[in-house]
Amino acid sequence: MRLPFLILCLSLSSILSAQPQQKPNVIIILTDDQGYGDVGFNGCKDIPTPNLDRIAKNGTIFTKGYVSYPVCGPSRAGLITGRYQDRFGFGRNPVLAPEDSTMGLPLSEQTLAKVLGKVDYQSMAIGKWHLGAHPTLHPLKRGFDEFYGFLSGGHRYFPEEWVLWDINDIEKQNDGYRTKLMSDYTRVDEKAYLTDALSREAVKFVQRNPDNPFFLYLAYNAPHGPLQATQKYLDRFQHIKNKKRRTYAAMVSAVDDGVGQLLDALEALGIADNTIVFFLSDNGGPEKKNGSDNGPLREGKGSLFEGGVRVPFAVQWPGQIPAGQSYDKAVISLDIFATAVSEANAPIRDSHPYDGVNLIPFLKGLNKAAPHEYLFWRKFDQNWYIAHEGNSGLKVITEPKEGHHVYDLNEDISEENNLADRKKKLIKKSSKRQEIWLNGMIEPSFMGLLQRKEYYKIKGYHRKE
C-alpha cells in the first residue's frame, strides 16, 4: 500500500511543479545619493546595515551594479522605463515646474507599473517621484494604482517643516521640499519622520496585497540632503565624530530599519519566496555634501567616473536566485525592468527598444556570458561619454578636455591608471559602437535644474531662484 501512495505523491508533486509559476511580486527599494561603500555588504564598518545585508545574504550582490545616469532624475527615468533615458530626451535633471507638462517623463513612455498592470499587478509608488510635477505626470497617471509621497526632487524630513498644502504655491525650487505629503491625489497631514512614514506605508501596502501579484516602488529620499535625523537614529552613532557623517549614518540606519520591517512583513505573510526584492541607490554619493563614502571608487554623484554611476546594488528571490552570491559582471538598473516583465510575462511594445536584460538566467548560472556586451552613458551638456565593455571590464571615457581615458575596472577599481595609449584598438572599436548607440538617442527635451533661471525667463515664471 505504501509504495503506490508514494508514487502517487511523487507524480502529483511533479505535476504541481510543472504548473506555471505564480507571477512573482516585485519590489524596488531605491535610496537616494547613498555611497557605494555605505552598506555592510560592500564593506562598510561604521554604519551597520543588517537589513540591507539581509537582501545580499538571501540573494546576490552586484559588485558592478550601475545606474544609467549619475544624478537623480534621469537615473529614475531609466530605471522605471527600462530604457536609456536619452532615448526619450530625459538627459537632464528636471526643474520642479508643476505648470509644465513637458517637464518630466514624456507620455510616450510606459513605466514598469503600467506594463505590469497589464497582467493584473497592483502597484504603488512610495516616496520621491521626480518624474514630473504636472498633474498629467502624476504617478497615478503613469500606471501606478496608489501613491504616497512627494513629487519634487527632494524633501525635508521633519513633518513640522511641511507647510505647503499646494505645490503651485512654490516660490523657489526648494519650496518643493516643504509640501505636505500626498496620498494618491490628496495632501495629508503626516506626523511621522519621513523615512519612517514611507516604511510604514510600504508594509501596509504589502499587507493589503497578500494574494495579488504586486509591484512596489519604494523610493526613499534618504540619505539625500537636507541631513536630518531623529534622536532615535542619531543615538546609534555616537562613535562617529564627523557631524555630517553621523547624521548621514542615522538616515541610512532609518532606511535599514524600514527595509527590515518590509522583509519581516513578506516573511510573515509567507510570500518572501515569491517576491523579487531589488535594492540600489539612484546614483553615487556626493561625499562632501552628505558625508557619504563611495569606498575605493573615484569621484561621486554627477561624475561619469565609477563613483557617480556604480552603486550599492543587491537582489533577493529566495529559492530562485542562489543565496550569498556575488556577481561580478556589469549590470545596470535598466535590467530591473527587463527582469520584472520577463518573470511576470508582461507584454512590452515592439515599437520601443528596451535596453535591459532579464538577469535571472545569469544569476542562476544558466547563462555564463556577460549580460551586456556594452553599456553606455552620456552627459549631454558636458559632452562626456562612457562605453563599458561588459566582457573585459574595460571602460572608455571620452571627454572634451583630455580626450580618451581607458581603465581596466577588474584591476583598477579606482581608475588611477589611464591605459589610453595602449588601447587604441579598443578606443576605435568602442567609439564605433558608441556612434551606433547615439543614433538611438535624442537631445534633452527640457531644460535642466542648472538652467532654471533661463527657463523661468523663457516661461515667464516668477520664481526667486
* Site of interaction with Ca ion (CB under 5 A): 32-33, 72, 282-283
Q: Is 72 a catalytic residue?
A: yes
Q: Residue 225 CB, nearest distance to Ca ion (Å)?
A: 10
Residue 408 vs residues 297, 383, 415: alpha-carbon distances, Å: 13, 22, 8
- Which one from 44, 130, 224, 404 is the annotated catalytic residue? 130
Q: Which is nearer to Ca ion, 24 or 300 (CB)?
A: 300
What residues pair up with 31 in beta bridges, in sequence order? 281
| Comparison of 55 and 219: residue with beta carbon closer to Ca ion | 219
CB of 356 to Ca ion, least distance (A): 20
Q: How many CB atoms lie within 10 A of CB 277?
A: 25
Q: Which residue is nearest to Ca ion (CB)?
A: 72
List all residues 6 or more positions away from 21 whose beta carbon is below 8 Å from its beta carbon: none
Other C-beta atoms lying within 10 Å of the C-beta of residue 324: 10
CA distance 143 to 370: 32
Shortest Cβ distance from residue 71 to Ca ion (Å)? 6
Give me the catalytic one of 9, 44, 72, 372: 72
- Decide if 44 is catalytic: no
Q: Look at residue 407 and give its three-state secondary structure.
A: strand
Q: Within 10 A of 418 (CB to CB), how many other CB atoms are there?
A: 15
9: exposed, middle or buried (Cβ count in 10 Å: 0-12, 13-18, 19+): exposed
Cell reading at 43: 564593506
- Nearest CB to Ca ion, comparing residues 34 and 58: 34
Q: How far is the CB of 194 from Ca ion (least distance, A)?
A: 15
Smallest gap from residue 312 Cβ to Ca ion (A): 13
> Quick count: other Cβ atoms within 10 Å of Cβ 435?
9
C-alpha cell at 207: 499587507
Helix (H) or strand (E) holding 90: none
Nearer to Ca ion, 32 or 201 (CB): 32
Q: Which of residues 31 and 122 has its CB atom nearest to Ca ion in the complex?
A: 31
Question: What residues are annotated to the active site?
Answer: 72, 130
